Amino acid sequence: MQFMLLFSRQGKLRLQKWYVPLSDKEKKKITRELVQTVLARKPKMCSFLEWRDLKIVYKRYASLYFCCAIEDQDNELITLEIIHRYVELLDKYFGSVCELDIIFNFEKAYFILDEFLLGGEAQETSKKNVLKAIEQADLLQEVRRRCRDASQCAGGNWTDINMLLLLLIIIIIHSPHTPSSASYSAVCS
Amino acid sequence: MSDVVEKTLTVLPSLLSLDSQPGSAKLSSTSKLGNLIRGITELTSKHEEEKLIQHELASIKEQVSSPNTSMRQMKELMVRAIYCEMLGYEASFSYIHAIKLAQQGTALEKRVGYLAVSLFLNESHELLLLLVNTVLKDLQSTNLIEVCMALTVVSQMFPKDMIPAILPLVEEKLNHPKEIIRRKAVLALYKFYLIAPNQVQHIHNKFRKALCDKDPGVMTASLHIYFQMIQENPDGYKDLTASFVTILKQVVGGKLPMDFNYHSVPAPWLQIQLLRILSVLGKNDQSTSEIMYEVLDESLRRAEMNHNITYAILYECVKCIYAIHPKSDLLEKAAKCIGNFVLSQKINLKYLGLKALTYVVQQDPKLALQHQMTIIECLDHPDLIIKRETLELLFRITNAQNVTVIVEKMLEFLHTSKDDYTTIDLVAKVAELAEKYPSDNEWFIETMNTVFSVGGDMMQPDIPNSFLKLLSEGFDSVEEDKKLRLFAVDSYVALLQGEPGKLPQRFLQVISWVLGEYSYLREELEPATVLRLLAKLLDMKNTSSETKTWVLMAMTKLCEGGAGVSVAREVSETYSSSLDTVLRQRAQELQHLSQDSELRARVIPRDAGLEPLEVDSSLSFLDGFVSEALAAGAAPYKPPHQRQEELAQAKALSLEPYGLSLPISMSSCSIADRQSPTLLSMSSGLSGDSTDLSHKGGSTTLKLDGVRRVWGKEGYLVQREPVEEVAQVEVPSPLRSPSQQGEAESSHSQTPTPVPTPEPEQEKQQLASSLFVGLGSQSSVCLMGKSEPTPQRFRRKAKGPGSSPCASEQISNSLVSASSTVDKLLCDNLLDSNVTSELPVSSPTQTSHLSENLSTANGTCDVELTDSDIKGSNPSLVRDNGVAVAADPAPHEDPDGPKDLCLSSHLPAELAGLSHSEITPLCSSQNLDLSVCHVQKKDSLALVVFIYNSSDTDIQQILLELDSGELEVSCVCDSPVQELRSHGVAVCQYSLTVRRPSVHVEVVGIVSYLLPVGTRQSAQFSYRLPLTSFIRPLTVSTEEYGTMWLAFSNDTKQNLTLISDGQESLTATLNVLRKKLQLHVVEVIGMEGIVACQLLQDQPCLMHCRVHAGTLSAWLRSPVPDLPDCLIYYCQRALQEH
């Protein structure tokens, strides 16, 4: 995948992720053109677009357009499902997601995207695993904040040790429930 | 115990935080970001928004640079900066602070910092260097989250040069107990592989371990790397096919944990990735394909649910089935699938169906016939994307009979399309079709006119070039040529009389060239009239100066006689003071030539288009100038890559603490170098190094082998392509005989477009019949780059094998004289076509030429020689010193052992003292046994062939011919062996030199002789030699070495294994190389050594070795292409064997 864009029906960009190095000028140009092209399409039309030398796969969810650019040999339908899976993830994380969630918590949306797609390739396709990774990170920061707040209140140094302990425990908790799939041993020939 | 802890601690976060639910982090309405967003939504105009954001950015800028800002505030600021950037406002001042945040922040702050970095910067941004240390630190962190963050950012972007710094740490993470870390590490390595493949070469076995990982996520991630590697080198990974098939079987069979299901389909992403890998592996490989038939069948069977995800898998399956070696029942099923797609009501599936059809119609044109009505419907689909894809499909099935209808449809689309990319693409396709299947002159010229006017100045420059070339080179009959040119002239004069101002510049250039060249053909047309028309073009405001030069050129050709001269004078006066130097030059030429008609006739001979003009692409005429300049102290020319390299060496950061410096420069230059041998040889050809040139020989002329040529000098060249097995499956027999087809074609060309009838259905039927005409018969389907088993019947036939591929090297005289621009463009064009020569298409002239070449090169392999042939040819067999040496008369029971001995006794006297290779039997026929050995002389390699007569009768007229693609074979003595007594041995000696280095060189030959009964017998043989037999040490001093090193342009770099780890490892390794490969060690300084050798005769190759991190980085250079590659191969082998 080359890039992913989220924009509203009004053409406002909500999220952009570029997996190919491009200059800001190019990015802006591409975004502008693409938003225009996609918004001009009618609802019953094909979700795939040939645009320049790329293939654009887009889908509209409520007022948001999700739009991915892929190479010619990539599978369009699976890209459509990548978009869908991402929406599912957002939905699960925010609890029936709406555009406002993404506007106000766009950094969270980015974090989820980074756990799901990395460097333009699907990194983890198990919904549970993605959310687990996100929650772990969220949890960590919450804990830290609490600890720091507590330490500020108490004015003592004990929290450092406490925090370390907590972190340690949390890491243990979230250690793998390793799926039993020894069946891959066949590969190790 | 751990269960208890777990239970307790899972509730911990909710105790600790008030907003513990991750989803409840909803509108942090009080935050500054919230305020900003709300502020923006309340605005009504773009201008207000800009003001607000600028204000916001100013405040962010102030705060980030204030020392009192805490990291937590910084995080908040960064989020706002990201938001502003997303809205399209630049916040570059915050980049450095993002890096700082990633460096100094804790947990969330760091996370936001990394996020900001990955959003703000791209791979090549210089600030990214500052991130390296942070990443390094985080990778070593004991906190998993931090490691995850570091790996995430690394997999998205990392400076290429800094990869060695973190590579060991990332590698280490492959063994991490947590699967999420392993997965991210694999993806990071994938990223490294993409940006710098040679840096991760050494960890291929670790990739294999990742492939075998017990976690499906890690395994899936590793498939990305494998897909990439397999695409680059499918042969290297054939052994993994069975493993991939096993994995796919398990996935399809539902053996994965439920987590990986997506809408109750097991791991669809994994399935699709595997299918893509399999399709690459099975391509053109029957045995590999056979392994996967079963699992493909099962995948097709399992994917039955009506959901997008199953269609995605089905689509990939179909693609795979058509990519691999065909199997009829799978093809049938795949065809059915495509049918379902095409007929589907869902528009996305319809699109994919059409796409699949476009893809498979190359192999199975029948499929398009089945769906013709659907295709017709899609042609009028309201969605342009569907329409466009349909045209693509039609393009693939175009033949001489339906070309007019299809081109008409394409032009129709072109008129409505507004997208530049589509226009450029379609215009090129129309031009291609029109040139391939010109149904008649009028249609051709008119179509090209539309192409030029619609395509305008956007289209690829090779379209007008090839059109002009076609016009100038002409076709089969002179009469036809004249008609075509006349028609073009008429049509252009009409256009110029109309509104030339609306025509694109390129078209005007074409018009002026054609008028300049051919308007004399229309006798009633006064040159002065044409001149005036052309002069009108010059006066137009929007005419570019390039077009003006074309126009002036055309005028130079036309200014003849009274009226013309006066127009010419007027024009030349205007432009001889032009600021544009090219224009001024042309105006001067026009002025002089219009006044001196005799000179003009000599400079621009009329209709000289067919006279070849030799182009000296090596610029050898500059040699004198170059050597003079060199003598005067000028620096020798260095090809660009070499300059860059030296620059890089001089300037680049020292990466010593992190890793190899040599491999890094390798990544920047060697890839490009190796992949473009043509470019290399060009650049070295231009270097003015005359020794260089003499070595290459071939590189002084353009290389046109394998260049696809649809039009030759004589017009269209009938395509005859190697028939691929794939296409042979179920190809229907031709529906009509060629002659009938020809009739249909000619009648068709008279009524090019179908007359529309009022009933829409009937119209469609008619359209269908005109679109799909001739599709059933294999002979007339145009398969893009695929086989076309029988030659196309064509109105303009090729003249036959008269023209050689060299023809295209010769640029027609008139073109050059006409315009240097044309000349240049054509040259470019040739070069372009040179580059894109991979298409397996070859014209019959080429094939015939090739086969001629082959037959001369390999000797007359399969042809039994006749007597007359022998007399005519000059047999190259010799007797040793002119006399057949008598062998010991007793026939041996055991032919090998003792004969070997006795054969060696027959070695020519001058070779007897030298060591010879083992005498190996070459071939034996009824009466003759041939054996061979080679002897390494100091300055040459001698090949000695022993002919032993094993029969009891004498053998007459023995004829031995040797040849080789890579070698120059010359016979040492030239008196042929005429006869050989019973049980006698004759010895022939040849001297071999290398023409073109390759890892193994082969000599092929044929021996023929006359039996006493009068019949002629022949036998073929081949003998393979390693290139090392031709390698000799080259004794040079270090200084000489230095100058030679700079002069050579073909290079290769690779890491070799050292043979021992001790102090003396370099010397020991070099000694092995010296002994085994006869290299000369020039000097060893510390950890570096320089080695030189030469390939007979006088083709030096230099090697620079450097010990680093337990390996030997070798860098080879030579003036001869391929030589470094071959040599490094032998070095590797020598060291492995040791």
pLDDT digits (tens, 9 = 90+) for B873-913: 444 333 333 333 333 343 444 444 445 556 777 777 777 77
Q: A127 vs B259: CB contact, 8 Å cut-off?
A: yes
Smallest CA-to-CA distance from B81 within B103, B97, B100 is with B97
Q: A125 vs B220: CB contact, 8 Å cut-off?
A: yes
Q: Which residue on chain B is closest to A186 by alpha carbon? A: B243
The nearest CA of chain A is from the CA of B192 a distance in Å of 11
Q: Which of B41, B111, B423 to mutate to test the interface with A (most CBs of A within 10 A)?
A: B111
pTM above 0.80, yes or no: no
For the CA atoms of chain A, what is the radius of gyration?
21
**Least confident stretch, A12-16, B12-16, B226-230, B517-521:** B12-16
What ipTM is given for this predicted complex?
A: 0.79
Angle B267-B270-B271 (CA atoms, 0-180°, nearest 5)? 85
Q: A181 vs B257: CB contact, 8 Å cut-off?
A: yes
Q: B214 vs A182: CB contact, 8 Å cut-off?
A: yes
Q: B421 vs A45: CB contact, 8 Å cut-off?
A: no
pLDDT exceeds cutoff 90 at B791: no
B826-873 pLDDT per residue, tens: 444 444 444 434 444 444 444 444 444 444 334 333 434 334 443 444
Cα–Cα distance for residue pair B886/B904, rounded to 1 Å: 13
Q: A167 vs B122: CB contact, 8 Å cut-off?
A: no
Cα–Cα distance for residue pair B791/B942, rounded to 1 Å: 46
Q: How buried is residue B527: exposed, middle or buried, by Cβ count under 10 Å (0-12/13-18/19+)?
A: buried
Residue A45 is nearest to which of B115, B383, B388, comparing CB atoms?
B383
Q: In angstroms, what CA-CA distances link B1066 with B663, B944, B1060, B1104, B1137?
A: 18, 38, 8, 12, 17
Q: Which residues of B touch A33 (CB under 8 A)?
A: none
Residue A77 is nearest to which of B260, B312, B422, comparing CB atoms?
B312
Q: A46 vs B348: CB contact, 8 Å cut-off?
A: yes
Q: Which residues of A touch B316 (CB under 8 A)?
A: 75, 78
Residue type, B597: S
Q: B122 vs A181: CB contact, 8 Å cut-off?
A: no
Cα–Cα distance for residue pair B171/B139, rounded to 1 Å: 11
DSSP annotation of B283: B
Q: Which of A92, A104, A134, A159 to mutate to test the interface with B (most CBs of B within 10 A)?
A: A104
Smallest CA-to-CA distance from A17 within A28, A29, A4, A27 is with A4
Q: What per-residue confidence (pLDDT) applies to B942?
A: 83
Task: Give kind and range of the element (H or E) at residue B84.
Answer: helix B71-86
Q: What per-residue confidence (pLDDT) applies to A58?
A: 93
Cα–Cα distance for residue pair B815/B608, rounded to 1 Å: 9
Chain A to chain B Cβ contacts (< 8 Å): 248
Mean pLDDT comparison of B184-198, B582-596, B650-664, B716-730, highest-scoring range: B184-198
For the CA atoms of chain B, what is the radius of gyration?
36
Smallest CA-to-CA distance from A140 within B71, B9, B113 is with B9
Q: B213 vs A135: CB contact, 8 Å cut-off?
A: no
Q: B421 vs A133: CB contact, 8 Å cut-off?
A: no
Mean pLDDT comparison of A156-165, B386-395, B646-655, highest-scoring range: B386-395
Q: A176 vs B216: CB contact, 8 Å cut-off?
A: no
Q: Are B278 and B292 in contact (CB under 8 A)?
A: yes
B440-496 pLDDT per residue, tens: 778 888 888 888 888 777 888 888 888 888 887 776 677 778 888 888 888 888 888
Cα–Cα distance for residue pair A39/B788, rounded to 1 Å: 44
pLDDT exceeds cutoff 50 at B1101: yes
- State the residue for tokens 């004015």: A155
Residue A137 is nearest to which of B145, B177, B385, comparing CB atoms?
B145
Q: Which of B5, B71, B85, B86 to mutate to test the interface with A (most CBs of A within 10 A)?
A: B86
Where residue A145 falls among pLDDT bands split at 50, 70, 90? low
Mean pLDDT comparison of B325-334, B1054-1063, B1117-1126, highest-scoring range: B325-334
Q: B308 vs A184: CB contact, 8 Å cut-off?
A: no
Q: A16 vs B86: CB contact, 8 Å cut-off?
A: yes
B112-163 pLDDT per residue, tens: 888 888 888 887 788 888 888 888 988 888 888 888 889 998 888 888 888 8
- State the residue for tokens 């029936």: A96
3-state secondary structure of B173: helix
Q: Which residues of A touch B422 (CB under 8 A)?
A: 50
Is there a cis peptide before residue B271, judged by omega within 30 degrees of 0? no
Q: B28 vs A22: CB contact, 8 Å cut-off?
A: no
Where residue B707 falls among pLDDT bands split at 50, 70, 90? very low
Helices (H), A41-157: 76-94, 99-104, 106-116, 127-154
Q: Which residue on chain A is closest to B145 by alpha carbon? A: A137
Q: Which residues contact A189 (CB under 8 A, 6 or more apart)?
A: B242, B243
Q: What per-residue confidence (pLDDT) applies to B718?
A: 43
Q: B190 vs A121: CB contact, 8 Å cut-off?
A: yes
Residue type, A78: I
Q: What values do phi and psi take at B921, rounded to 5?
A: -70, 135
What is the torsional sign of CA B741, B747, B748, B749? positive
DSSP calls for A6-46: EEETT--EEEEEESS---HHHHHHHHHHHHHHHHHS-TTS-
The nearest CA of chain A is from the CA of B107 a distance in Å of 6
Cα–Cα distance for residue pair B1070/A41, rounded to 1 Å: 68
Where residue B515 falls among pLDDT bands split at 50, 70, 90? confident
The nearest CA of chain B is from the CA of A130 a distance in Å of 10
Q: What per-residue confidence (pLDDT) applies to B779?
A: 38
Kindly state the average pLDDT of the residues B987-1004. Answer: 80
pLDDT exceeds cutoff 50 at B715: no
When comparing pLDDT for A2 and B839, which is higher?
A: A2
Polymer length in residues for chain B: 1138
Q: Which residues of A touch B250 (CB under 8 A)?
A: 183, 186
Q: Which two tokens stand for residue B721?
A: 């392509």
Q: B214 vs A184: CB contact, 8 Å cut-off?
A: yes
Residue B107 is nearest to which of A100, A144, A173, comparing CB atoms?
A144
The nearest CA of chain A is from the CA of B670 a distance in Å of 22
Q: Which of B156, B381, B421 to mutate to test the interface with A (most CBs of A within 10 A)?
A: B156
Q: What per-residue confidence (pLDDT) applies to B874?
A: 42
pLDDT exceeds cutoff 70 at B329: yes
Residue B37 is nearest to which of A104, A145, A167, comparing CB atoms?
A104
Q: Which residue on chain A is closest to B279 by alpha carbon? A: A73
Q: For chain A, report the end-to-end CA distance as a whole number of angstroms.
A: 32
Q: Which residues of B touch A75 (CB under 8 A)?
A: 272, 312, 315-316
Cα–Cα distance for residue pair B857/B1038, rounded to 1 Å: 41
Q: B82 vs A106: CB contact, 8 Å cut-off?
A: yes
Q: Which residues of B touch A187 (CB under 8 A)?
A: 211-212, 219, 243, 246-247
Q: A127 vs B191: CB contact, 8 Å cut-off?
A: no
3-state secondary structure of B711: strand
What is the torsional sign of CA B784, B785, B789, B793? positive
Cα–Cα distance for residue pair B700/B141, rounded to 1 Å: 59
Residue B214 is nearest to which of A48, A129, A181, comparing CB atoms?
A181
Q: What per-residue confidence (pLDDT) applies to B1109?
A: 74
What strands lie across the sheet with B985-994, from one edge to the other?
Answer: B920-924, B928-936, B941-949, B985-994, B967-971
